[in-house]
Amino acid sequence: MADRTAADFIAFAVQAGVLRFGEFKTKAGRLSPYFFNAGLFDDGAKLDRLAQAYVERLLPHAADFDLVFGPAYKGITLAAALAMQLARAGHNKPYAYNRKEAKDHGEGGMLVGAPLQGRRVLIVDDVISAGTSVRESIAMIRAAGGEPVAVAIALDRQEMGRAGDQDLTESAVQQVQREQGLAVHAIATLADLLDFVQHDPAARQHAGAVQAYRARYGVAA
């Protein structure tokens, strides 16, 4: 049975032009039959709907974290929007984010927002590609006295990671889960995307390409 939160999110992402089908070259040099560009959640209504989807996925876990952290740059907007939607859902939580460069005036430092000291921290980002942003966030959070406990992402690609020119047996998400011991909550996954294209009349023409890509590069859930 399809995951309703995932199915609704994918339909919304397609309608908003954030998720497109065709042939796209990934950072790993693969030709992907879909492209997810979270930068196109570029107006208030789209961002609000995206944050609602995060909250739908996170509500069962709301008691597990105390603060929302957004890695620069996309994560900054995501953390703010998510914090607002969580508050509307009855879970008012502080949020913080980082700068790319430290300031030596004003509040100074690399971090902006609520203090992380002694708090269990949820990291929110759009995707985990190589895991670099998550690892950097973990280091900053721990240096500030917080404890990372989970990551929320919009889409889990569920595909093999890369090391140099070699395919790995794990995805970047699985690496983060194994190496860092963090839960990863995705609004939708590649499996959800495949289910969508197999059943949506307008997208069904792409089902074969998505299925072939998953067969070639996919990892076990």
What CATH number should be reported for the domain holding residue 94?
Answer: 3.40.50.2020
Question: HSE on the CB side for 124, CA within 13 Å?
Answer: 29
The pLDDT, as a whole number, for residue 28 is 82
The pLDDT assigned to 105 comes to: 54
Tokens of 12: 């919304």
Q: What is the pLDDT of residue 25?
A: 93
Q: What percent of the chain has pLDDT over 90?
A: 86
Active site residue 199: no
Could you give the C-alpha distances from 176 to 118, 126, 133, 179, in angstroms and in order? Answer: 22, 15, 11, 5
Indicate if 185 belongs to the active site.
Answer: no
Q: Identify the domain containing residue 46 by its residue range.
A: 4-217
pLDDT, tens only, 116-160: 999 999 999 999 988 889 999 999 999 999 999 999 999 999 999
Please write the tens of the pLDDT for every residue from 98-115: 987 765 555 557 899 999
pLDDT for the residue 143: 96
Mean pLDDT along residues 76-105: 90
Q: Which of 91, 93, 100, 103 is catalytic?
A: 103
Q: How far apart are alpha carbons 54 and 194 in whole angstroms?
A: 20
Q: Give the DSSP H or E segment for 9.
A: helix 4-15
pLDDT at position 2 is 64
Task: Quote the pLDDT of residue 108.
Answer: 54
Q: Amino acid letter at 101?
A: E
Tell me what pLDDT residue 27 has: 81
Residue in 25, 61, 105, 206 annotated catalytic: 105
How many folded domains does the chain comprise? Answer: 1
pLDDT of 1 strictly over 50 = no
With H, G, I as helix, E, B as strand and everything else as coil, classify residue 221: coil
CA–chain centroid gap for 214, Å, is 19
**Model pLDDT for residues 164-194, shown as the tens digit of each residue:** 888 999 999 999 999 999 999 999 999 999 9
